[in-house]
Amino acid sequence: MMATRDLVIIGGGSAGMAAAISAYDEGVKDIVILERSPYLGGILNQCIHNGFGLQYFKEELTGPEFLTRFVVEVQKRGIEVKLNANVTAISKDKTVTYVSPEGAGVIEAKSIVLATGCYERSAGSIGIPGERPSGVITAGQAQLYLNEYGYLVGKKVFILGSGDIGLIMARRMTLEGAQVLGVAELMPYSNGLNRNIQQCLIDFGIPLYLSHTVTKVIGKGKLEAIEISQVDGSLKPIPGTEKRFDVDTLLLSVGLVPNNDLLDKIGVPISPTRGSKVNEHMETELDGVFSCGNVLHVHDLVDYVVEEGHQAGKSAAAYLQGRLPRHEDVLYTQAGNGVGYVVPACIDLHNADGKVAIKFRVRRPAKEVYVEYRIGETLIKRMYKPAIIPSEMEIVSLDKASLQGEGPLTVSLVAKEVK
């Protein structure tokens, strides 16, 4: 007989654990978390540096310290967890198929929370010219080898991309005795948080080459050197600007992508984040299927991932208890000038009480701008920002009652008038 569950949570990282805790506290007791790795906690297991939890716990914790607090809460509630259980498919009628050391399993779920995190873009996805030797590895994979298995992947390192994981690995590898010769960033600005530029590069004297990219990978079998070049305004390498670095390792920190394969495979509509389209309850376009954390959109801070997980868990409980009817006439959102994406994709205004959190990222850094929220031509809210950058996710809370009129709700950047 097929197993049935009120709530199946796929992925036991920060988002999945937070969702489980909140759903349980709202009265849903028949929950299982399916996690493909041998432990709970997700990516934070390998993030042994500090800086986690400043918003959520008002304390500075390491990744493992942060996740342990959630593991304890999951265990206290006796929520069932299946480890080494890799979910291979979800169907539109919410049947979940997984494989584990005990064999294949199938669960008929009444509700699902997808919390499968994100994956790193690799050399294949950015097409670096040159040879394909060993020694080219993503920064997150190098972090896993070093922090969980104790292997230093190289001694002379160059990093392509200034995302946070690359910056953190520049510091980490230096502390472990490797020589980090530099970081090249295609854009004229860094994609990492300012605190990481200061604490991971400037404090260690590691040069950051803005508007540069790797134009050659050199080495047969094993990496011997790389060549970087400056790029022009259209991001094309400028001949004559080549610089060679003799290195045994090239770390790639060139972006994270939501790991939304399970919903992609069954055609659930996706948003510009490459996660699913959700409403303000984190519900996808499939009834009773919710998405949260990095599988929905890549977050800058785990603190916000956890808040989203709690929201998805509460919504799943409301759905199971018949308190979350879906209405067709919703207010859609869209990214306007200078904005890359907006989450949620739509807002249900049938219950116009309370507030809705609008999250977005800008496409490129801007100074002295207003962020405008408009429904059609009507200005709902305008906020001044002295500076705004793509590496930081923006969150603003709007009163649902203020969201009246013909949609969509557009979030845009508008330059401050010069008087």
Ligand X SMILES: Cc1cc2nc3c(=O)[nH]c(=O)nc-3n(C[C@H](O)[C@H](O)[C@H](O)COP(=O)(O)OP(=O)(O)OC[C@H]3O[C@@H](n4cnc5c(N)ncnc54)[C@H](O)[C@@H]3O)c2cc1C
Give the footprint of ligand X on this chain (CB under 6 A): 10-16, 34-37, 42-44, 47, 52, 86-87, 115-118, 120, 140, 143, 164-165, 168, 256, 259, 293-294, 299, 301-302, 305
Question: Looking up tokens 């508008």, which residue turns up?
Answer: 414
Structure tokens, 211: 């508007």
Beta bridge partners of 372: 382, 412
Question: Least distance (Å) from ligand X to the CB of residue 293?
Answer: 3
Within 13 A of 344's CA, how many CA atoms are on the CB side?
Answer: 25
Q: Which is nearer to ligand X, 79 or 302 (CB)?
A: 302
Question: Residue 148: which region, alpha, beta or left (left: phi > 0; alpha: psi -120 to 50)?
Answer: alpha
Q: Residue 163 carries which side chain, given as an amino acid letter?
A: G
Q: Which is nearer to ligand X, 51 or 219 (CB)?
A: 51
Q: Which is nearer to ligand X, 139 or 226 (CB)?
A: 139
Question: Residue 368: which region, alpha, beta or left (left: phi > 0; alpha: psi -120 to 50)?
Answer: left
Question: Looking up tokens 């996710």, which residue turns up?
Answer: 393
Q: Which is nearer to ligand X, 161 or 338 (CB)?
A: 161
Contact 50, 342 (CB under 8 A): no
Structure tokens, 28: 């849903």
Q: Which is nearer to ligand X, 140 or 237 (CB)?
A: 140
Question: Least distance (Å) from ligand X to the CB of residue 358?
Answer: 19
Q: Which is nearer to ligand X, 163 or 336 (CB)?
A: 163
Give buried/exposed letters for 270-288 (b at 16+ CB in 10 A, else e): bbebbbbbbbbbbbbbbeb
Question: Least distance (Å) from ligand X to the CB of residue 193?
Answer: 9
Question: Least distance (Å) from ligand X to the CB of residue 65?
Answer: 13
Give buried/exposed letters for 386-397 (b at 16+ CB in 10 A, else e): eebbbbebbeee
Beta bridge partners of 218: 225
Please state the φ and ψ torsions of residue 165, each to the nearest 5 degrees: -65, -40
Q: Which is nearer to ligand X, 12 or 182 (CB)?
A: 12
Question: Least distance (Å) from ligand X to the CB of residue 15?
Answer: 3
Question: Looking up tokens 């495979």, which residue turns up?
Answer: 265
Question: Least distance (Å) from ligand X to the CB of residue 144?
Answer: 7
